């Protein structure tokens, strides 16, 4: 079940990021053509592009953790004995997860506030909470990925 879940998560992240990048590029290109050739503005294009970008950043952060592309400082852990290295890596993962839990909490508070006040986006008047939901969802995805990375690092250090 563990492998199936992360395989699904891999596919979801990859497809979501590919589709959102394609949509952002298409909308931006169409907006430029519309503005400079037809002299018309598509007011919604900027709003959709910005919101897709925010979602892509949050999902992309989880993907970066998956691939090990997040910021890491291994100078200290490289000189530690194996037993301490495992402890430090586990500690770092738990600190990151703790910070992400705070982000998820405040993201949920923000999203519930947007729902309560029925906030709408300026151009399309979509519910603002749909965009705000990117913060807790992205945070949860990152938590899953840090747990996965901690498990992989723990196993790698055992076999090292």
pLDDT value of residue 130: 94
- Please determine, for residue 79, whether its predicted confidence score (pLDDT) is greater than 70: yes
pLDDT value of residue 157: 63
Q: Which stretch of 63-67, 79-83, 116-120, 139-143 has the lowest confidence by average pLDDT? A: 79-83
Domain count, the chain: 1
Of residues 68 and 144, more confidently modeled: 144
pLDDT in tens, 11-24: 999 999 999 999 99
Does the CA dihedral 78-96-138-152 come out positive or negative?
positive
Please state the three-class secondary structure of 11-77 as a single string.
Answer: HHHHHHHHHHHHHHHHHHHHHHHHHHCCCCCCHHHHHHHHHHHHHHHHHHHHHHHHHCCCCCCCHHH
- As a whole number of angstroms, the longest Cα–Cα distance in the chain is 66
φ and ψ at 117, to 5 degrees?
-85, 0
Q: Which domain holds residue 113?
A: 2-159
The predicted model gives 91-115 an average pLDDT of 96
pLDDT value of residue 74: 73
């Amino acid at each position: 079940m563990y492998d199936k879940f992360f395989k699904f998560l891999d596919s979801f992240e990859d497809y979501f990021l590919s589709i959102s990048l394609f949509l952002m590029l298409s909308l931006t290109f169409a907006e430029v053509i519309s503005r400079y050739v037809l002299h018309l503005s598509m007011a919604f294009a900027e709003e959709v592009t910005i919101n897709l970008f925010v979602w892509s950043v949050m999902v992309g952060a989880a993907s970066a953790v998956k691939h090990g592309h997040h910021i890491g400082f291994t100078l200290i852990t490289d000189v530690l004995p194996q037993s301490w290295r495992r402890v430090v890596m586990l500690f770092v993962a738990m600190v990151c997860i703790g910070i992400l839990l705070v982000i998820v909490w405040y993201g949920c508070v923000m999203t519930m506030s947007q729902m309560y006040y029925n906030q709408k986006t300026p151009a399309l008047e979509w519910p603002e909470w749909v965009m705000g939901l990117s913060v807790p969802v992205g945070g949860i995805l990152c938590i899953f990925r840090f747990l996965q990375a901690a498990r992989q690092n723990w196993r790698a250090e055992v076999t090292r």
